Amino acid sequence: GRGSRPVINVGWSRAQAYLRWLSGKTGQHYRLLTEAEWEYAARGGTATARYWGDQDGVQMATCNDCGNAWDGKSTAPVGTFTPNAYGLHDMLGNVWEWVEDCYHESYAGGPADGSAWVESGCSNRVLRGGSWDVGQWFARAAERFAYSSGGNYGADDDGFRVARDL
């Protein structure tokens, strides 16, 4: 991720280190979104699979088969595609985004208030939203999967989105 490209190759631990640095530098509190916050933001006020509707992401996102110049090759520059109704770009596709929560198979027993579901000893965290190197099916608001939070470096399709507490 350089220039107008999203940050990539960042593991969960490295994202946390960056957030601590940014918070210290600015005096504001920065963090990863919770799973609930991320999905709310990704849906952009809709109840459909994607903020543009239920149809696949052709020309609306970057994925392996989305019909654009970056298909299966690389990330697209941030903001290439139309934002959702909240003005957020690239919530679906481009890069998988780390969230704060530990991975659980389902939401049963999780917090009902939108807070992060975490516990000590959590070894897998959640990535959301699909990326440039997976199919359209993964570029949807409900898409999530577990990934190890142990290393500093993620894959070339792993990134994160910064939230600031107000």
**Residues 112-136, mean pLDDT to the nearest whole number:** 94
Return the pLDDT at 113: 97
The string of pLDDT tens digits covering residues 1-43 is: 789 999 999 999 999 999 999 999 999 999 999 999 999 999 9
Dist. CA 136–CA 50, nearest whole Å = 11
Q: Name the residue with higher pLDDT: 81 or 150.
A: 81
Please give the span between the terminal C-alpha atoms of the chain, in angstroms, as a whole number.
Answer: 27
Residue corresponding to tokens 């088969």: 65
**Residues 41-47, mean pLDDT to the nearest whole number:** 96
| pLDDT of 99 over the 70 cut | yes
As a three-state string, the secondary structure of 61-78 is CCCCCCCCCCCCCCCCCC
Return the pLDDT at 57: 66
